[in-house]
C-alpha cells in the first residue's frame, strides 16, 4: 500500500518527461553567437585611409635663364636656413657685370665728349669774322662799282666830244677810235664790277648763315646730351639688374629642412623658372584624408583623431582636425565607383610623437596611414556589437534578441554608431542578449542555442 504513492509519482514524472520531449524540450536549438547589451561609453568615428603631407614646401628655381653648376645635395639631405644650395656659373655672372659696367663707362665718355663745345665755339668765332670780312668785301665791290660807273660816264662823255670834234676836223680819227675803245673797255669793266658785286652779295648771304648754323649745332649737342642721359640711366639700370642677378645667382634655402626632391644634378643651361630643388620641413608634417562627403558632414574642426597603421606602428598617435576643405571632388574607388570626397587636414597633437615617428619609424612625406576621426561620444549608453544590426525592407534597423531560448525579431532605434559598436536607444534593455551576425535563414521564433561571445 505504501508503494502506491511512489508509483503515481513515477507515472507522473514519465508523463511530464514525454510531454517535454514532445514539445522539443530536449532540442538545444540552432547554435548562434550572442552578446549581451550593456552600458558603456561609445565614440562615433569615421575611419579612412590617409597620407602624410607637408603644409608647405619650398621650391628652389632658376631666377633667370643661365648655366647652372652641378647640384650635389641629394634627397634626404638636411639643410639650414640661408645655406647655399645651388649656384649660377660665377664666371658667366662676372662677364655680364663687366659688360654692363663697360656700357655705362662708354656712355659716360660720350657724355663728356658731347659736353665739350670748344671746337664749335672756335668755329662760331671764325664764322663771325667771316661775316665781317665778307661785309667789307661787299662794301669794296660797291665802291669799285661806283668807280666803274664813273669811268663809263666819262668814256661816254669823251666819246661824244670826240665825235663832235671829228666832224669839224678838230680831232683826228685816231683820237676818236681811242675814245670809242675806252668807252667799250669802261662798259666791260663796269659789267665785271657788277658781277663781282653780285658774287660778293651771294657770299655774304652764305657767310651770314654760318654763325647760326654753328649755334644750332651746339644746341643740337644739348639734345644729344639729353639722349645720352637717358641711355646712361638705362645702362645703369641694366648694371643694377646684372648685379642683382649675381646675388640671386647664389640660391639659398629659406628654411631649416631637408631636400625632398632634386630635379637636376648636372651642369647645364636652364630656362628661368626651371625647378632645381624642393625643400620641406618634416617637423611641420600633417595628415591628409579624403573623406566621403556623407561622412564629413558630421566632422568638425577640432575633432579628436587617432592616427594608426603600419607606418605608425604601436602605439597609435593622437591628432585633431585642423581644416576641412569647403569643396569636394570626385574620386574613383578601387571598385570603379565614383565617390564624392572632401579633403580633411589633420595635425599631430604632440610634437614629441611626430619626432618619435620621424626618428624611429622614418616617417616621410606621402606615407600611407589610417585615421579615425571621432565625431561624437556618449557615456552610459546601452551598447551592442555593430554586427548584430541589419536593415529591414523599409530601412529600419533590426536585430534578433534571444528571449526564452528563441530568436525574436526586434526593431530598434540606433543612436551613435561606429565600426564596432552601436548605441540602442529603444527596443533592447540592458543585459539582454542579441544574435551576432545572424544568418539569413534565421527566422523570428526560431529556437536557438546562444553562445556568449
DSSP symbols for 163-203 = HHHHHHTSS-HHHHHHHHHHHHHHHHHHHHHHHHHHHHHHH
pLDDT at residue 27 is higher than 60: no
Grid cell listed for 396: 529600419
Please give the Cα distance from 269 to 128 (Å, whole number).
63
Structure confidence at residue 6 as a pLDDT band (50, 70, 90) = low
Please give the Cα distance from 438 to 20 (Å, whole number).
28
Report whether 114 contacts 197 (CB < 8 A).
Answer: no
pLDDT tens track for 264-273: 989 889 898 9
Residues 6+ apart with CB under 8 A from 52: 285, 286, 287, 288, 311, 363, 364, 365, 366, 367, 369
Q: What is the mean pLDDT of residues 339-351?
A: 94
Of 373, 401, 407, the residue nearest 389 (C-alpha): 401
Grid cell listed for 129: 669774322
pLDDT tens track for 102-118: 888 888 888 787 777 77
What's the pLDDT score for residue 21? Answer: 44
What's the pLDDT score for residue 200? Answer: 76
What's the pLDDT score for residue 25? Answer: 47
Q: In the chain, what are the domains? A: 28-42+380-452 (2.40.420.20), 47-54+283-377 (2.40.30.170), 60-86+249-279 (2.40.50.100), 99-247 (1.10.287.620)
Please give the Cα distance from 47 to 299 (Å, whole number).
12
pLDDT at residue 221 is higher than 80: no
Across 48-52, 136-140, 384-388, 439-443, least confident range: 136-140
Please state, in angstroms and as integers, the Cα–Cα distance from residue 71 to each residue in 89, 121, 229, 272, 447, following that order.
12, 62, 43, 17, 77
What's the pLDDT score for residue 12? Answer: 58
Please give the Cα distance from 418 to 40 (Å, whole number).
14
Please give the Cα distance from 51 to 305 (Å, whole number).
14
pLDDT tens track for 195-207: 887 777 777 777 7
Residue 103: its H or E element: helix 90-115
What's the pLDDT score for residue 11? Answer: 62
What's the pLDDT score for residue 163? Answer: 74
Residues 6+ apart with CB under 8 A from 210: 127, 130, 131
pLDDT at residue 22 is higher than 50: no
DSSP for residue 405: T
Q: What is the mean pLDDT of residues 337-345?
A: 94
What's the pLDDT score for residue 412? Answer: 95
* Higher per-residue confidence, 166 vs 384: 384
Residue 275: its H or E element: strand 275-280
pLDDT at residue 241 is higher than 80: yes
Please give the Cα distance from 188 to 241 (Å, whole number).
78
pLDDT tens track for 28-73: 689 999 999 999 999 999 999 999 999 999 999 998 888 999 999 9
* Higher per-residue confidence, 70 vs 145: 70
* Higher per-residue confidence, 235 vs 313: 313
What's the pLDDT score for residue 123? Answer: 76
Please give the Cα distance from 46 to 293 (Å, whole number).
11
- DSSP track, 285-351: -EEEEEEEHHHHTT--TT-EEEEESTTT-SS-EEEEEEEE-SS-EEEE-TTS-EEEEEEEEEEES-H
Q: Decide: pTM greater than 0.85.
A: no
pLDDT at residue 276 is higher than 50: yes
Chain centroid, CA 410 distance in Å: 61
Please state, in angstroms and as integers, the Cα–Cα distance from residue 288 to each residue in 116, 285, 341, 349, 371, following that order.
73, 10, 12, 15, 9
Q: What is the mean pLDDT of residues 428-447?
A: 92
Average pLDDT of every residue of the chain: 85
pLDDT at residue 240 is higher than 80: yes
Grid cell listed for 375: 565625431
What's the pLDDT score for residue 20? Answer: 47
pLDDT tens track for 174-191: 777 777 777 778 778 778
Grid cell listed for 120: 664749335
Amino acid at each position: 500500500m505504501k508503494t502506491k504513492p511512489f508509483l503515481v509519482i513515477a507515472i507522473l514524472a514519465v508523463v511530464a518527461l514525454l510531454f517535454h520531449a514532445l514539445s522539443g524540450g530536449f532540442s538545444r536549438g540552432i547554435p548562434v553567437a550572442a552578446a549581451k547589451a550593456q552600458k558603456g561609453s561609445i565614440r562615433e568615428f569615421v575611419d579612412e585611409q590617409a597620407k602624410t603631407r607637408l603644409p608647405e614646401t619650398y621650391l628652389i628655381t632658376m631666377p633667370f635663364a643661365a648655366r647652372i653648376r652641378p647640384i650635389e645635395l641629394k634627397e634626404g639631405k638636411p639643410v639650414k636656413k640661408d645655406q647655399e644650395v645651388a649656384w649660377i656659373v660665377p664666371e658667366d655672372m662676372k662677364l655680364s657685370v663687366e659688360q654692363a659696367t663697360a656700357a655705362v663707362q662708354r656712355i659716360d665718355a660720350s657724355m663728356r665728349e658731347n659736353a665739350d663745345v670748344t671746337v664749335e665755339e672756335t668755329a662760331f668765332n671764325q664764322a663771325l669774322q667771316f661775316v665781317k670780312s665778307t661785309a667789307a668785301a661787299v662794301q669794296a665791290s660797291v665802291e669799285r662799282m661806283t668807280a666803274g660807273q664813273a669811268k663809263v660816264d666819262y668814256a661816254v662823255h669823251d666819246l661824244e666830244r670826240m665825235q663832235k670834234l671829228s666832224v669839224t676836223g678838230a680831232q683826228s680819227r685816231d683820237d676818236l677810235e681811242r675814245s670809242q675803245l675806252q668807252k667799250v673797255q669802261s662798259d666791260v669793266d663796269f659789267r665785271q664790277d657788277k658781277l663781282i658785286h653780285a658774287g660778293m652779295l651771294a657770299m655774304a648771304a652764305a657767310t651770314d648763315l654760318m654763325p647760326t648754323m654753328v649755334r644750332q649745332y651746339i644746341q643740337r649737342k644739348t639734345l644729344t646730351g639729353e639722349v645720352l642721359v637717358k641711355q646712361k640711366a638705362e645702362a645703369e639700370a641694366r648694371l643694377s639688374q646684372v648685379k642683382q642677378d649675381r646675388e640671386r645667382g647664389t640660391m639659398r634655402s629659406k628654411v631649416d629642412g631637408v631636400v625632398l626632391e632634386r630635379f637636376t644634378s648636372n651642369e647645364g643651361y636652364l630656362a628661368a623658372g626651371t625647378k632645381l630643388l624642393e625643400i620641406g620641413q618634416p617637423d611641420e608634417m600633417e595628415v591628409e584624408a579624403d573623406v566621403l562627403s556623407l561622412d564629413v558632414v558630421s566632422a568638425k574642426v577640432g575633432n579628436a583623431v587617432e592616427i594608426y597603421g603600419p607606418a605608425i606602428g604601436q602605439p597609435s598617435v593622437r591628432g585633431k582636425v585642423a581644416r576641412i576643405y569647403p569643396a569636394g571632388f570626385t574620386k574613383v574607388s578601387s571598385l570603379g565607383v565614383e565617390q564624392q570626397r572632401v579633403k580633411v587636414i589633420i595635425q599631430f597633437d604632440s610634437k614629441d610623437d611626430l619626432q618619435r615617428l620621424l626618428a624611429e619609424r622614418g616617417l616621410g612625406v606621402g606615407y600611407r596611414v589610417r585615421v579615425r576621426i571621432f565625431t561624437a561620444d556618449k557615456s552610459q549608453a546601452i551598447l551592442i556589437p555593430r554586427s548584430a544590426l541589419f536593415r529591414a525592407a523599409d530601412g529600419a534597423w533590426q536585430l534578433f534578441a534571444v528571449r526564452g531560448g528563441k530568436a525574436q525579431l526586434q526593431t530598434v532605434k540606433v543612436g551613435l554608431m561606429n565600426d564596432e559598436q552601436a548605441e540602442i536607444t529603444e527596443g533592447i534593455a540592458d543585459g539582454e542578449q542579441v544574435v551576432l551576425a545572424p544568418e539569413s535563414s534565421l527566422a523570428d521564433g526560431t529556437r536557438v542555442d546562444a553562445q556568449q561571445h
